[in-house]
């Protein structure tokens, strides 16, 4: 709606309850979501944040008030809720979570009947209902009824085990260190890994809304205790999840924490070996190492805007088999075309079981690209003008999927895109040589800085 602030960001609605959003807001946005869904039942679940139980009750009230029945799935990972919506006959789902954000944040993710986050267009429809206050209000005798859903987690673990060769994994009896980060996968992933015959060593395994272990975001910096534990125990693999368990970041047997595009390339290789000619979806900012692997299998990589919703929706549109982001989000369509940390872990184990080589060796077989990331401050009001000014200065092959992606030859690129969450423009580049990468940054960074300064 023009003139009204957008509520949905890159991934759902997020903010600090009590500061950015009142409790009434959560009731009303749930009324809007319920009005949008029209049909029942709706499944509601939440992550381990301190504000989650309260917000879940507010959201439940909102949905009941528009006359829809609600089932409470309790505390679980986001992908477990999504899989339950898809497979247990729900007409929609709402997850109370702020994913990897710090503990004071919370928010909602909204899933359609297929378990996938609603599309950008549908997000706008929900916002429109919210701003116009056009809620369907049920009478006292037609309000919805509230029930419990107790099978969501067992259904999820079973669903994942069926998508991999569990016997082949069991035969290898892998040792795996799992850093649950006090997040929601603590109630699911360790049980899955035990089911797959792994010897499991858990770190930060108690759900705790303050995320006292290492924070809710898994990155090479925050996963250093995982890396140390993998080395100390001589484990085959380490894995760390984000707060709501949809992203997984892997650590190899040498104790090196890997970014998602390199481990994602191995998973792409594994998936395409089982689904010949399958399509792969990833964002404009993911490394071309994915294309390298896909080419080997005669498959095509299709790029989207940055954001997992865009990846998932494009997967459905193109009937793609695999989707990924460089932050460790992987979507395996035969399971569900949304990010799933536990499914990705099972795929990694399946890959390792098949290749009989340590992960560090398998990673070394991939081509290496140099990468560099920068950002410059730019107030939101100036962003469009700056990007327009920049557009006049670029030459050669340019892609406009999200921001500007400038290619230099076939294997070097620079992506400049306004952030969806902060008042900055991000600059991300990749090339085969460091010299080529620095040359691209030297060419465009001053142009961007000047444009931002002059506004
Ligand atoms: Mg997440």
Return phi, psi of residue 306, to 5°. -70, 130
Tens of pLDDT, residues 215-266: 999 999 999 999 999 999 999 999 999 999 999 999 999 999 999 999 999 9
Cα(397) to centroid(ligand 1), Å: 34
Does residue 433 fall inside a structural domain?
yes
Q: Which two tokens stand for residue 214?
A: 């290492």
CB neighbour class for 447 (10 Å; exposed up to 12, middle 13-18, buried from 19)? middle
308 C-alpha vs ligand 1 centroid, how far in Å?
A: 10
Separation between Cα atoms, residue 204 and residue 115, nearest integer Å:
28
Indicate whether 82 and 221 sit together in one domain.
Answer: no
Instruction: Tell which of 329, 364, 399 closes a domain.
Output: 364
Asked whether residue 8 is assigned to any structural domain, the reply reads: no
Beta bridge partners of 14: 107
- In this structure, what CATH number is given to the domain that contains residue 420? 3.30.310.50
On whether both 108 and 166 belong to a single domain, the answer is: no
307 φ/ψ angles, rounded to the nearest 5 degrees:
140, 130
| CA–centroid distance, residue 97 to ligand 1 (Å) | 8
| Å from CA of 107 to ligand 1 middle | 12
1 within some domain: no
Structure tokens at 281: 């979806």
Give distance in angstroms: CA of 174 to centre of ligand 1: 26
In a domain, 285, yes or no: yes
For residue 217, how far is its CA from the centre of ligand 1 (angstroms)?
A: 8
Residue 406 belongs to some domain of the structure: yes
Assigned domain for 97 exists: yes
| Contact predicate 252/237, CB 8 Å | yes
- Which residues does the annotation mark as catalytic? 99
Cα(242) to ligand 1 centroid in Å equals 6
Distance (angstroms) between ligand 1 centre and the Cα of 412 equals 30
CATH number of the domain where residue 175 is located: 3.40.120.10
Shared domain for 131 and 171, answered yes or no, is no
Residue 257 shares a structural domain with residue 145? no
Q: Show Cβ contacts of residue 357 under 8 Å, excluding neighbours closer than 6 positions.
A: none
42 CA to centre of own chain: 22
Contact in structure between 426 and 306 (CB atoms under 8 Å):
no
Same domain membership, residue 246 and residue 112 = no
| Run of H or E including 283 | strand 280-283
Q: Report the 10 Å Cβ neighbour count for 365.
A: 11
Tokens encoding 311: 């990846």
Q: Residue 164: which domain range?
A: 155-364
Tell me: do 32 and 139 sit in the same domain.
yes
What is the reported pTM?
Answer: 0.96
Same domain, residue pair 72 and 170:
no
Q: Are 79 and 53 in contact (CB under 8 A)?
A: no
Q: Considering 129, 150, 171, which residue would you say is the last residue of a domain?
A: 150
142, part of any domain: yes
Q: Please state, in angstroms and rounded to a whole number, the distance separating the CA atoms of residues 368 and 408.
A: 17
The DSSP line for 123-170 is HHHHHHHHHHT------TTT---EEE---HHHHHHHHHHTTS-HHHHH
Which regions of the chain are under pLDDT 70? 1-2, 455
* CA 93 / ligand 1 centre spacing (Å): 16
Last residue of a domain, one of 340, 364, 388: 364
Domain tally, the chain: 3
Please tell me what DSSP assigns to residue 83.
H
Q: Is residue 4 part of a domain?
A: no
What is the Å distance from ligand 1's center to 348 Cα? 19
Cα 243-88-129 angle, rounded to 5 deg? 70
The pLDDT assigned to 11 comes to 87
136 vs 31: CA distance, rounded Å: 8
* Shared domain check, 348 and 439: no
* Cα angle 341-99-352, degrees, rounded to a multiple of 5: 15
Q: What residues have their beta carbon closer than 5 A to ion ligand 1?
A: 99, 242, 244, 246
For ligand 1, the distance from its centroid to the CA atom of residue 140, given in whole angstroms, is: 37
Q: Are residues 193 and 263 in the same domain?
A: yes
Is 26 found in the same domain as 60? yes
Do 214 and 140 lie in a common domain? no
Indicate if 324 and 416 belong to the same structural domain.
Answer: no
């Amino acid at each position: 709606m023009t003139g009204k602030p957008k509520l949905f960001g890159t991934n759902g609605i997020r903010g600090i309850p009590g500061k950015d959003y009142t409790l009434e807001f959560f009731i009303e946005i749930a009324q809007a979501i319920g009005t949008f869904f029209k049909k029942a039942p709706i499944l509601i679940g939440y992550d381990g944040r301190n504000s989650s139980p309260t917000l879940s009750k507010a959201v439940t009230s909102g949905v009941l008030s528009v006359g829809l029945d609600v089932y409470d799935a309790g505390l679980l990972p986001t992908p477990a809720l999504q899989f339950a919506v898809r497979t247990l006959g729900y007409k929609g789902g709402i997850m109370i979570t702020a994913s990897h954000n710090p503990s004071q944040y919370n928010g909602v993710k909204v899933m359609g009947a297929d378990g996938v986050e609603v599309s950008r267009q549908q997000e706008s429809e929900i916002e429109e209902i919210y701003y116009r206050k056009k809620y369907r209000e049920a009478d006292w005798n037609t309000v919805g009824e509230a029930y419990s859903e107790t099978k969501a987690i067992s259904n999820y673990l079973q669903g994942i085990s069926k998508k991999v060769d569990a016997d082949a994994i069991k035969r290898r009896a892998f040792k795996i260190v799992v850093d649950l980060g006090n997040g929601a996968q603590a109630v699911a992933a360790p049980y899955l890994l035990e089911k797959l015959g792994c010897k499991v060593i858990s770190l930060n395994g108690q759900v705790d809304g303050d995320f006292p272990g290492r924070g809710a975001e898994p990155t090479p910096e925050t996963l250093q205790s995982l890396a140390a534990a993998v080395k100390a125990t001589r484990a085959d693999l380490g894995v760390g999840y984000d707060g709501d368990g949809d992203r997984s970041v892997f650590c190899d047997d040498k104790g090196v924490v890997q970014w998602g595009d390199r481990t994602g390339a191995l998973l792409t290789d594994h998936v395409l070996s089982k689904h010949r000619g399958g399509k792969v979806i990833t964002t404009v900012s993911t490394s071309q190492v994915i294309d390298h692997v896909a080419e080997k299998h005669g498959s095509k990589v299709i790029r989207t805007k940055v954001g997992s919703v865009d990846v998932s929706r494009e997967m459905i549109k193109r009937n793609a088999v695999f989707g990924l982001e460089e932050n460790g989000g992987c979507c395996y369509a035969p399971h569900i075309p949304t990010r799933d940390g536990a499914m990705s872990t099972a795929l990694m184990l399946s890959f390792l079981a098949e290749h009989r080589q340590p992960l560090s060796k398998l990673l070394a077989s991939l081509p290496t690209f140099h990468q560099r990331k920068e950002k410059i401050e730019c107030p939101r009001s100036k962003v469009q003008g700056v990007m327009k000014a920049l557009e006049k200065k670029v030459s050669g092959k340019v892609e406009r999927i999200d921001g500007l992606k400038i290619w230099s030859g076939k294997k070097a690129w620079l992506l400049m895109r306004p952030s969806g969450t902060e008042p900055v423009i991000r600059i991300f580049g990749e090339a085969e040589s460091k010299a080529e990468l620095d040359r691209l940054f030297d060419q465009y960074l001053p142009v961007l800085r000047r444009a931002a300064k002059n506004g």
